[in-house]
Amino acid sequence: MLSRLISKTNLAANAAGVYRLAAIGQKIQQRSIHFAFEPDQPVTKYGETRNMNLLQSLTSAMDITLENDPTALVFGEDVAFGGVFRCTVGLRDKYGSDRVFNTPLCEQGIVGFAIGAASAGATTIAEIQFADYIFPAFDQIVNEAAKFRYRSGGLFDCGKLTIRAPCSAVGHGALYHSQSPEAYFAHTPGIKVVMPRNCIQAKGLLLSCIQDPNPCLFLEPKVLYRSAEEEVPVGEYLLPLGKADVVFEGNDVTLVGYGTQVHVLKEVRKLAMEELGVSCEVIDLATILPWDSDTVCKSVEKTGRLLVSHEAPLTGGFAAEIAAKVQRECFLNLECPIERVCGYDTPFPHIFEPFYIPDKWKCISAIKRMMNY
């Protein structure tokens, strides 16, 4: 506990010093990325667009919410001055310290307060500074927020609650700042779990989470905060929760991922075609709970092969749930065993991070095994 407090106190010292991300900026992030970010085509149906990185798209979503909803609150550790990643910059100055404010270093307290505020009718956006430190709030999320409506027989709920948390590998995060905890929460009925892959998706999905009548956990791949840039609609727009996105169509292998890993799979698709002549269909799950099994199964019925990839450890990872469902629904369509390319069953390493992450070369090796089965 003492080492954690020292670690987090150092991280939260100031915006420039926290985890060195704010000061180091985009240049160092790009040096450590194991994939190349390619923006989606601009979306014009939602009106005017502006170039934003992922941080700015999230800030825009919260700005719209605070402006349109007088009950909306944004809070967390160091949120008032903009947060350690600068995701809430300017919001306190614009909306006041009674609506955008700092909290003590206590994740259980943050989520407990958020549940109370949401159940009282406030649109509540709570930030956990790093997803790695969400576990002190595990009981509040799993035993309180997720069950609030059920245990009251529908008389009360905290459906206006959204919990944001930066997650996943960043290139130099080591064991306490690189974890992907989505599978822990995907086991919990009553909440929704979402992880975007880019800026357009991040804003639209966050706004959907904020307006959804269920508590939502919104996990943000922090390596994309500054490395991802796209033309993002300026105004309000919603993207559907629980719906996967077929990023690229293909015929031979279905590749499924979410968050950062989608960009790895996009590179795998190119490599597989160039080196193996294999056509891959890339699917971004986007919503982990509830996940879109129909889209994935429809794809596997066509390709006969499935590779699922995420940064979290292999054992008990969400890829196992996807594999089990597809095996049950598409057994007669499968041409080979389902492959899972994931992190190792070890704590997340520091200097050995490049060996830990499920990069494109590990995925290509899995595709070769499937095609040669």
Does 34 qualify as catalytic in the annotation? no
219: Cβ contacts below 8 Å, ≥ 6 apart: 131, 165, 166, 167, 168, 180, 181, 182, 193, 194, 195, 259
Q: What distance in Å separates the CA atoms of residue 354 and residue 17, rounded to the nearest whole number?
A: 25
What is each CA distance from 367 to 267, 276, 277, 330, 345, in whole angstroms? 13, 9, 11, 18, 22
Q: Which residue's structure tokens are 């990069």?
A: 359
Q: What distance in Å separates the CA atoms of residue 287 and residue 180, rounded to the nearest whole number?
A: 14
Q: What distance in Å separates the CA atoms of residue 45 and residue 57, rounded to the nearest whole number?
A: 17
Strand, helix or coil at 369? helix
Q: Among residues 34, 77, 107, 311, which one is catalytic? A: 107
Does 182 qualify as catalytic in the annotation? no
Q: Among residues 177, 267, 281, 321, which one is catalytic? A: 177
Strand, helix or coil at 361? helix
DSSP single-letter state for residue 286 = -
- Catalytic amino acids? 107, 177
